[in-house]
């Protein structure tokens, strides 16, 4: 009986720990996205009318892009761990490459749709500034990560 209770308590503690880690990851993602929004807002200098139309389009694009990347990444990781990769035939590798290309195409089509939708909301110059701001934000984020050094 005591063993069952101890096992139950351990299971609950592990569940709480897992939930806490998931919450921490979600909070980091939200924090990074908030920083990105501020960075882009600052660079684009959107009017209130532009911002009202821009952010729903951009947020929808970001969410769809994130979901697609996460879904495909998980799928690819399952297929190409070191052991599976070493045993993979050329035919299987071609299938994985085709799937990777399809994902890249899908991401590209999503980006084209974003640009098309934004053309009616902001100027072409601001769309180019958006692309530049996204790249600068990525560089800044990577630099901050590098500056922190390895976790201990």
For residues 64 and 85, what is the distance between their CA atoms, to the nearest angstrom? Answer: 29
| Angle subtended by helix axes 48-79 and 90-118, to nearest 10 | 180
Mean pLDDT over the full length of the chain: 82
Q: Which residues contact 44 (CB under 8 A, 6 or more apart)?
A: 50, 54, 122, 126, 129, 130, 133
Cβ proximity of 54 and 130 under 8 Å: no
For residues 92 and 82, what is the distance between their CA atoms, to the nearest angstrom? Answer: 14
pLDDT of the residue at 71? 85
Report the range out of 44-48, 66-70, 119-123 with the highest average pLDDT.
119-123
pLDDT in tens, 56-106: 999 999 999 989 988 887 777 776 766 677 788 889 888 888 988 999 999
Bigger pLDDT: 23 vs 106 = 106
Of all residues in the chain, the percent with pLDDT exceeding 90 is 40
Cβ proximity of 130 and 118 under 8 Å: yes
Report residue 118 as tokens.
């934004």
Cβ proximity of 36 and 137 under 8 Å: yes
Cβ proximity of 107 and 29 under 8 Å: no
Q: Which residues contact 110 (CB under 8 A, 6 or more apart)?
A: 61, 64, 65, 68
């Amino acid at each position: 009986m005591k063993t069952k209770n101890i096992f139950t308590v351990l299971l609950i503690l592990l569940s709480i720990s897992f939930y806490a880690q998931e919450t921490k990851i979600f909070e980091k993602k939200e924090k990074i996205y908030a920083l990105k929004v501020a960075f882009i807002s600052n660079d684009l200098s959107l009017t209130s009318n532009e911002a009202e139309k821009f952010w729903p389009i951009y947020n929808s694009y970001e969410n769809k892009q994130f979901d697609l990347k996460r879904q495909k990444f998980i799928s690819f990781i399952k297929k190409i761990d070191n052991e599976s990769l070493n045993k993979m035939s050329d035919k299987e590798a071609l299938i994985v490459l085709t799937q990777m290309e399809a994902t890249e195409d899908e991401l590209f089509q999503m980006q084209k749709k974003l640009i098309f939708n934004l053309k009616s909301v902001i100027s072409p110059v601001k769309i180019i500034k958006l692309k530049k701001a996204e790249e600068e934000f990525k560089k800044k984020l990577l630099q901050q990560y590098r500056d922190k050094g390895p976790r201990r």
